[in-house]
Chain A
Amino acid sequence: MQSGLCLLLALFLLSQHYENTVKDYGKEEAGAFNLYIDQVADDKLEPLSDFLLSSKAFLIKKEIQQKHQVTNIKISVGGNFNQAIGLSFGHLNLFEKTDLQQLANQPTDKIIGRGQGTLSSLKSIPRPLFASNIFVSQIPVDDAKAILGNYTVVGLNGKQQAYFIKQIAKITGQSEARLRQQRSGAHIDSSSIGLTLSIGLGVTFIVLVILLTIYLISRFKEIGILTLNGWAKYDILKVTFGGYIEFGVVIVPINILLGIFISGLQFNGIWTYLISGIMSVILVLLAILLVSTMLCFVSDLKLIKGFLPKKMLYGLGFSVYGLLAVGLVITSTGLEGPVRQIKENTRLLTAWQPVLDYQTLKKFEEGQNPGTLAGTTHAFSEEIYKWYQAMEGATGVYLATGEYYSKKQLQELKRMDAYETTVPAEPFTLASFSPNYLKDHGIYNNQAVINRAKAGKRIYLIPESISNKQLKAIKNWLIENDTADLEQVKNTFARQRQFEFIKYPERQPIFTWTNHADQSVLTKSPIMLIETSQNMSVNDYVNLHVNTLEGPLKFKNERILKMYTRGKVLKQYQLADNKMKFVPVQQYINGLRNDLRFTIYLFMGVIGFVLLILALTLIALMLIYSVANEKIIFVKRLMGYSNLKIYAWLVSLVCGVTGLQVISVLYLHLDIGLKLCLVSFVLQMLLMVGFIKVKGIEKLKGK
């Protein structure tokens, strides 16, 4: 088991090394530099694509592709294939310059490596276990939009580089500084595998030590006899444990074979497996050494007499007990988060009662818009915008979202010195609604104002009761926010930048779609934006596909949703590939709760397990004590000692450890932890009392 884990760990580390190598593909070349190309106007895409693909440079673009829980790394290459560079991992070539040149002569649907579904492959790319799948494809010549992304550019000397960037700046109309600026980053997590393996290894090591100790103890009688016959400790150990060491060494070639079977010989040849095998043997030796040292502490005399090695057993028992106690605290930290979130979700379900049937966006895929998740392209936002524009104002097709700015949040904004204008001092709710939402829910229906909003004026409804100071701050703050980065938006507001702030009388409470612990979702005086496609700011524009509960796009019910998400309709707006999934708000929240529940069950399982082992360890300790001190206990009982006095040390141990647990749990602010400590304490107390009583009865029966 242990050597298996060592093997897997070694393979895992290998896969990490592999992925890092892939991540750095191209960066090590002399003269390589990075370019970040996004947000290019549609009409400039073709000239940009033409320039890049016919330049002297070799372009490398790496993208993370996520589909159905599988993560792929897609490497797109293009430009001048005479400057192409291959990628190697150690002594192994993953793909070479010639492979890439061959790829360039093929139609764009051919790839190197394994891709999804129908893409046909020229050759495969070796990869170790645990690593993501990697494939290489060409940057398509006929799809200008695909030219956007983050590039590593190779093959240009200094002068050529300067010219290259200058040309791109000219074509795209963006500054060179912007082209060189990284705007987004990503990280794929794989630490859980490595961590799992390492911890598994640690646990198996501990188990190995324990098993070896038990084995040693069970051989005490023989060892005692040997000592009596004059054997040195070292020889005894050799005889006792020799078998284990031999077994460990024998495992190594088996390990190697297993490794070859799992992951082949290509990576570093046999070395990885050999090293992992040696690692495993070293661990076994270490365990044996540890146990042997324990033996040296037992005096020869005791061995000969055949005494139970109390110290060893106690040491073992106590350390396990201690570990488990700590484990309990650690696990409860994990439980805290999900439990809190479930409470929040329950609160949300009650608070959002009026809108549980509204359909909200839950899922979407990048589809034909790779780079959406990384933020390198806004193509998806554009598609959704056009789709929304077409159905804007239709019955039951709403924009509705809200944010609450608490005092704490506003103080934070002030502290971060984020704005040039004064941040508003009073907390407020800021909501955005489409005109038909305002009308249908009886919030606002002044048609003249609504028409101006539709025409492109950014109109905010302000509650009448607002103070002048607050009003001024809010106006300036909103204007500063909304007028930023408008180059990306193509509507009337982006061109004319006109605002209006209109007061409205506060009547009944309005449902504002906020989700904040400190503020009710119903408030009489929110600040509301009358949001239309012509007055959207950049935030509104790119947030149409937000798939949290804050996403603004809402359909009143499933029937209306179906009308606008028919295959034909989505196809018309190039949204079919994005597989958007809308669900009722209730289902969304329930979905969150179910995920959380599963996490909680998992943790509860672990805790139950830990408690069980804890109880067993306690029983074991009590057994050791009662057997080792049979005579003393008997005498003590005879002398009239109460049970409590006899087992005082045990009681104080449990109390002491629980006390420590409680302190750490309070320190970490864990309510659940506290409850767990209580449960564990009660459990242990019951066990002890039960055990003592049983033992007492046994004594009386004259066992």
Chain B
Amino acid sequence: MSSQMIKKAMLLTAMMTGLSLGAEAIVPVKIEARLRQASPKFKGYRISWAYGRKPALYSYSAVQTGRFKHSATANQTYSGLKRKGVRAVAQQYVGWGRATAYWHCQ
């Protein structure tokens, strides 16, 4: 039994080490669509702002409000000033860099 066991143990160990190593490198990619929602207030009204990394390696910013003209910026990509009620979306590929999102109203 011992040689069988050892073989099995070795197989499992190798498997698990590989799994952990792989997971460490790739796991951040698995967790995408981490979009956060915020509702900053502008002139007393709540603005809808979704931002984060979507998908995984992209910086994302989306602003929506029916009361004011608004724009979204993701890192250095600017959606442009949008009309009231039209969604402003900006997205930029950032790889593993930091994702900075902006909202703007007027």
Query: Known contacts being A182-B40, A196-B28, A416-B66, is A207 close to B20, with CB within 8 Å?
Result: yes
- Contact assessment for A192 and B53 in the assembled complex, using a CB-CB cutoff below 8 Å: yes
1/0 contact string of B30-50 vs chain A (CB within 8 Å) = 111110101011110000010
Interface residues of B in 70-106 (CB under 8 A from A): 71, 73, 75-86, 90, 93-94, 96-106
Cα distance, A1 to B19, chains bound together (Å): 14
A188 touches B105 (CB 8 A): no
- Cα of A603 to Cα of B32 in the assembled complex, Å: 11
The reply to whether A412 and B26 contact each other, CB–CB distance below 8 Å, is no
A187: Cβ under 8 A from any B Cβ: yes
Whether the Cβ atoms of A616 and B15 lie closer than 8 Å is: yes
Structural contact, B19 and A66, CB atoms closer than 8 A: no
A118 within 8 A of B: no
Tell whether A417 is near chain B: CB-to-CB under 8 Å.
Answer: yes
Q: How far is the CA of A615 from the CA of B17 in the complex (A)?
A: 16
Whether, in the assembled complex, A595 has its beta carbon less than 8 Å from a beta carbon of chain B, the answer is yes
CB <8 Å contact, B19 and A187: no
Contact between B8 and A419 (Cβ–Cβ < 8 Å)?
no
Task: Given A71-B98, A409-B86, A599-B57, decide whether A185 and B40 contact each other with a Cβ distance below 8 A.
Answer: yes
The 8 A CB mask of A326-339 against B (1 = contact, 0 = none) is: 01001101100110
A417 close to B66 (CB less than 8 A): yes
CA distance A262 to B94 in the complex (A): 26
Rounded to whole angstroms, the CA-CA distance of A602 and B56 in the bound complex is: 10
User: How far apart are B13's CB and chain A's nearest CB, in angstroms?
Assistant: 6
In the complex, how many angstroms separate the beta carbon of A314 from the nearest chain B beta carbon?
13
Q: How many residues of A contact B (CB 8 A)?
A: 83
Chain A interface mostly: helix
A603 to B20, CA, bound (A): 17
- Chain B residues, CB < 8 A from A140: none
Binds B, one of A46-54, A214-222, A639-647: A214-222
Q: Which residue on B lies nearest to A416, using beta carbons?
A: B66
A645 to chain B, nearest CB (A): 25
Bound Cα distance A190, B94 (Å): 12
Counting CB contacts under 8 A, is A119 at the interface?
A: no
Flag if B26 contacts A481 (CB, 8 Å): no
Contacting pair B9 A214 (CB below 8 A) = yes
Expressed in whole angstroms, the minimum distance between the Cβ of A680 and any Cβ of chain B is 16
Number of A-B residue pairs with CB-CB distance less than 8 Å in the complex they form: 217
A373 and B101 alpha carbons, distance in the complex (Å): 9
| B57 adjacent to A203 (CB under 8 Å) | no
Out of B2, B29, B42, B75, which one reaches A221, CB within 8 Å? B2
Could you tell me the distance between the alpha carbons of A620 and B11 in the complex, rounded to whole angstroms?
A: 8
The minimal Cβ–Cβ distance linking B53 to chain A, given in whole angstroms, is 6
B19 near A207 with CB under 8 A, answer yes
Q: Does A374 lie within 8 Å of B102, measured CB to CB? A: yes
Is B101 touching A598 in the complex (CB atoms < 8 A)?
Answer: no
- Which residues of A (535-592) have their CB < 8 Å from a CB of B? 538-539, 542-543, 545-548, 550-551, 592
Chain A 416-428 interface 0/1 with B at a Cβ cutoff of 8 Å (1 = within): 1111000000000
Is A191 an interface residue, CB under 8 A from the partner? yes
B93 closest partner in A (C-beta): A595
Q: Are B75 and A334 in contact, with the CB atoms below 8 A?
A: no
Q: Which of B6, B20, B30, B104 contacts A204 (CB 8 A)?
A: B20
A183-B106, A337-B54 given; 7 more Cβ-contact pairs under 8 Å: A184-B105, A185-B40, A481-B84, A539-B81, A542-B71, A599-B55, A599-B57
A-B CB contact pairs (8 Å), 25 listed: A66-B75, A181-B42, A183-B105, A186-B103, A189-B51, A189-B59, A189-B98, A191-B53, A192-B34, A199-B28, A207-B16, A207-B20, A210-B12, A214-B9, A214-B13, A221-B1, A333-B33, A364-B76, A374-B73, A416-B66, A418-B66, A545-B78, A547-B77, A599-B55, A605-B26
